[in-house]
């Protein structure tokens, strides 16, 4: 596949599954969730018994077709409340080539195939 999109969503720990479910409801065909550590102006470091606790993040990566990108992004923004400060961030990176993902290397299904009539 050429001309794909990589949607990267970074949310607070515990929100990754919700972001992935929301993306898949909007048309994403899967993705990857990885753990990370956040640093930013809205990150509050907490201490437990004097030991600093770093803000944990979940990073959701999903490669998709460009025509599905906006719907997926909108769904994740709404579900994860990304319009609120400190709740996370999402951005899109163009992808030139993808290998090893069978659903992206295959032709897109027709409307009748999606509806189960093909």
Q: Which pLDDT value is given to residue 49?
A: 72
Q: Exposed e or buried b for every residue in 25-37, given b needs 16+ CB within 10 A?
A: ebbbeebebeeee
80: left (phi over 0), alpha (psi -120 to 50) or beta: alpha
Q: How many angstroms separate the first and last alpha carbons of the chain? A: 23
Q: Which pLDDT value is given to residue 114?
A: 45
| Count of domains observed in the chain | 1
Mean pLDDT of the region 72-86: 93
Residue in this structure with the two tokens 């990176």, named with its chain if needed: 93
- For residue 70, give its domain range: 2-46+53-114
Here the CATH number for the domain that contains residue 85 is 3.30.70.120
Mean pLDDT of the region 59-79: 94
Q: Which pLDDT value is given to residue 118?
A: 47
Residue in this structure with the two tokens 């794909």, named with its chain if needed: 4
Residue in this structure with the two tokens 């600093």, named with its chain if needed: 52
Mean pLDDT of the region 66-81: 95
Residue 47 has pLDDT above 90, yes or no: no
Residue 1 has pLDDT above 50, yes or no: no
Q: Which pLDDT value is given to residue 43?
A: 56
Q: Where are the alpha helices (DSSP H) in 9-65?
A: 16-25
């Amino acid at each position: 596949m050429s001309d794909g999109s990589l949607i990267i969503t970074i949310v607070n720990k515990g929100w990754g599954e919700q972001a992935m479910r929301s993306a898949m409801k909007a048309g994403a065909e899967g993705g990857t969730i990885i753990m990370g550590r956040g640093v930013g102006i809205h990150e509050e470091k907490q201490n437990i018994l004097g030991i600093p606790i770093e803000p944990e993040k979940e990073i959701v990566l999903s490669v998709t077709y460009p025509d599905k990108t906006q719907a997926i992004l909108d769904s994740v923004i709404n579900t994860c409340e990304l319009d609120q400060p400190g709740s996370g961030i999402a951005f899109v990176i163009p992808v030139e080539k993808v290998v090893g993902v069978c659903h992206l290397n295959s032709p897109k299904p027709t409307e009748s195939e999606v509806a189960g009539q093909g």
